[in-house]
């Protein structure tokens, strides 16, 4: 059974009728199979050649990634968001900056198809989503850093719509979310490089408006990875300005500063993350050399990451989405 269902108390993995009912009411989910992850590799090899390749893994297992399909347009340094039925890849560089958004069904291998367009072409932005809305935020339109949040209704193909603004511009940031609240972690702010910040800000995903201060990370950070359960967000690795292996964590409902969660297997930046409700991953990046490493960590118990397997190629700034953020969504 996949771990996309948050309130299971039976250690043997057997669901009680009361647990199924309570989760369907509280979280609008019901149990489903293994979590599928789609990973757009983006920039691969030491020369950072741009590829259209998409990898896939099953999050509850360990092992190497396999081929999933191809993006509609090869590009790197983009972002992704996802729900149980769609993973959307947006923006990036082709090498010119792109506004393309395309999507796959993470449970069915095949090539991506057109979804729509961003409100403006951008790169080095972040993505996050709940079951109905996907967000892209921050990044750069080259040369300008951006503070814009835009959203998409994942079930309906179409273009992005303005949602509001972050508290500052954010280049090379990441984000994660509960079913109702999203949090942005760090990035380069209005000071520009090396103006890396430790800022976290948040927004309620159902209501248009600007982000609000959440608290501070344990250090200034950019080019890091994010993962989340329904209740917890984790920010992993990045540049502080030196490379770091540290994972920070927050509880979405409790405003305040982040605390230490553990370390990834090696200090690195330009990596990306995704998760089910019980397991998070950190993929790719550079330790000084570009890597194809996949680490995984618990979303429930603090501690260090361990090796999961390898991507099909070394890469920096991959774009990742999984169907593990909430299971299948109840329609009534």
Distance CA 38, CA 54 (A): 7
Whether residue 109 contacts residue 68, with contact meaning beta carbons closer than 8 Å, is answered with yes
All residues at 6 or more sequence positions from 118 whose CB lies less than 8 Å from its CB, including other chains:
90, 91, 99, 100, 101, 136, 150, 159, 160
Whether residue 177 contacts residue 183, with contact meaning beta carbons closer than 8 Å, is answered with yes
- Confidence (pLDDT) at 21: 44
All residues at 6 or more sequence positions from 292 whose CB lies less than 8 Å from its CB, including other chains:
284, 310, 311, 312, 313, 314, 315
Distance CA 39, CA 311 (A): 9
Burial status of residue 75 (CB atoms within 10 A of its CB: 0-12, 13-18, 19 or more): buried
- pLDDT tens sequence for the chain (332 residues): 333 344 444 433 444 445 444 544 444 444 456 899 999 999 886 666 899 999 999 999 999 999 999 999 999 999 999 999 999 999 999 989 999 999 999 999 999 999 999 999 999 999 999 999 999 999 999 889 999 999 999 999 999 999 999 999 999 999 999 999 999 999 999 865 568 999 999 999 999 999 999 999 999 999 999 999 999 999 999 999 899 999 999 999 999 999 999 999 999 999 999 999 899 999 999 999 999 999 999 999 999 999 999 999 999 999 999 987 533 332 22
Beta bridge partners of 53: 70
Please, where in the chain does CATH 2.120.10.80 lie?
34-324
- Confidence (pLDDT) at 326: 36
- Confidence (pLDDT) at 44: 80
Beta bridge partners of 320: 39
Q: Quick one: which of 229, 220, 298, 297 has its CA closest to 265?
A: 297
- Confidence (pLDDT) at 325: 53
Token couple for 86: 């769609």
CATH number for region 34-324: 2.120.10.80
Residue 308 gets the label, from left (phi > 0), alpha (psi -120 to 50) or beta, of alpha
């Amino acid at each position: 059974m996949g771990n996309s269902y948050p309130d299971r108390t039976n250690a043997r993995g057997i669901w009680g009728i009361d647990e199924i009912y309570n989760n369907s009411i509280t979280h609008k989910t019901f149990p489903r199979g293994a979590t599928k992850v789609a990973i757009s590799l983006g920039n691969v090899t030491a020369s950072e050649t741009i590829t259209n390749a998409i990898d896939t893994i099953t999050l509850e297992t360990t092992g190497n990634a396999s081929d999933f399909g191809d993006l509609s347009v090869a590009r790197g340094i983009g972002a992704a968001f996802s729900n149980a039925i769609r993973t959307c890849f947006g923006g990036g560089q082709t090498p010119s900056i792109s506004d393309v958004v395309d999507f796959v069904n993470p449970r069915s291998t095949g090539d991506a198809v057109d979804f729509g367009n961003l409100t403006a072409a951008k790169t080095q932005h972040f993505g996050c989503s709940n079951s109905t809305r996907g967000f892209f935020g921050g990044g750069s339109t080259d040369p300008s850093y951006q503070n814009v949040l835009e959203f998409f209704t994942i079930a309906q193909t179409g273009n992005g719509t303005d949602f509001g603004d972050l508290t500052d511009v954010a280049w090379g940031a990441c984000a994660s979310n509960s079913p109702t609240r999203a949090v942005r972690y760090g990035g380069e702010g209005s000071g520009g490089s090396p103006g890396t910040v430790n800022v976290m800000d948040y927004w309620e995903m159902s209501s248009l408006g600007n982000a609000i201060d959440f608290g501070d990370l344990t250090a200034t950070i950019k080019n890091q990875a994010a993962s989340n359960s329904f209740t917890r967000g984790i920010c992993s690795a990045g540049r502080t300005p030196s490379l770091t292996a540290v994972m920070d964590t927050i509880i979405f409902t409790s405003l305040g500063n982040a605390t230490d969660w553990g370390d990834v297997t090696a200090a690195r930046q330009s990596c990306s993350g995704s998760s089910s409700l019980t397991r998070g991953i950190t993929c790719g990046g550079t330790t000084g050399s570009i890597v194809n490493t996949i680490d995984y960590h618990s979303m429930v118990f603090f501690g260090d990451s361990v090796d999961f397997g390898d991507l099909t190629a070394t890469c920096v700034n991959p774009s990742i989405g999984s169907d593990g953020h909430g299971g299948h969504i109840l329609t009534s």
